[in-house]
Chain A
Amino acid sequence: MLKSLFGPDSLTHMLRGGLEEASATHRAIAARVAGAVEASTSGDFAGQLEAHGRAQSSEADLQQDMTALADTELRYEADAKLLQAAYARLRSAIRGNA
């Protein structure tokens, strides 16, 4: 019975997995944003022309990362709320509350 409540097929276990996944995604986004720009300048003029494409793609990546960040944060929040509700139901059942 306990296995069905806390085992690998239980709701709480799935939600915990969701939290872990969101947390890992968040770590990856943080690492990408922290390393978005690796020099204080884009270099000389010829280098700037060459790097123009790179600068744009880096900007696009940053935008994508910030969108993914908002998405991950919401997913994490939803998982946390559902897990909180699941534990509250369990607690209620254990105590025998209506």
Chain B
Amino acid sequence: MPSPIRFPFLARPVRRLMGPLQTSAEGMALQQKFIEVISRNIANAETTRTPEGGAYRREVAVSDGSGSVETVEDARPGRQVYDPGHPDADANGFVSYPNVELNTELVDMMVARRVHEANATVFQSAKAMLRKALDI
């Protein structure tokens, strides 16, 4: 995750005003990370061969609430497709495909995008409030 913006050089009242800016920036970085993971899943939706062996496994990014993100593998099995001519087909002619469902990924991406937008709106609002405070 990108390192969050910090303002150690500013006086405490100014830092307090800057607080929402920092929080929103962290929120946007978190959603950015989610979108990265989702796009990796979409890019590998048909990958039947990986360096680790077998088909690509879907990844899920989970936040622990402190700003760090952990990526875990989805344990569900992938689909089996009968295709004896495929280079990755097993002895019975079945090919293991990744456990990625495009519909799920696209819905997850829409959620991440909306939350990213919400954070951007809070950021803009904090900026407008700071500007008003400077006009006093």
**Given A27-B16, A69-B122, is A84 in contact with B111 using a C-beta cutoff of 8 Å?**
no
Cross-chain contact A69 with B24 (CB below 8 angstroms): no
Cross-chain contact B24 with A30 (CB below 8 angstroms): yes
Main SS of chain B's interface residues?
A: helix
**Given A19-B133, A30-B24, A40-B38, is A73 in contact with B125 using a C-beta cutoff of 8 Å?**
yes
Cα-based distance from A74 to B30 in the complex (angstroms):
28
Asked if A80 is at the interface of the complex by the 8 Å CB criterion, the answer is: yes
Interface size on A, residues (CB 8 A): 34
| Nearest residue, chain A, Cβ from B120 | A33
Cα-based distance from A37 to B27 in the complex (angstroms):
9
| Nearest residue, chain A, Cβ from B99 | A44
Cα-based distance from A23 to B17 in the complex (angstroms):
7
Interface size on B, residues (CB 8 A): 40
Which of B34, B115, B119, B135 meets A84, CB within 8 Å? B135
Listed residue (A80, A83, A84, A87) with the most chain B CB atoms within 10 angstroms of its CB: A80
Cross-chain contact A66 with B121 (CB below 8 angstroms): yes
Cα-based distance from A29 to B74 in the complex (angstroms):
32
* 8 residue pairs, one from A and one from B, having the closest CB atoms: A34-B27, A30-B20, A40-B34, A40-B61, A30-B23, A80-B132, A39-B62, A38-B63
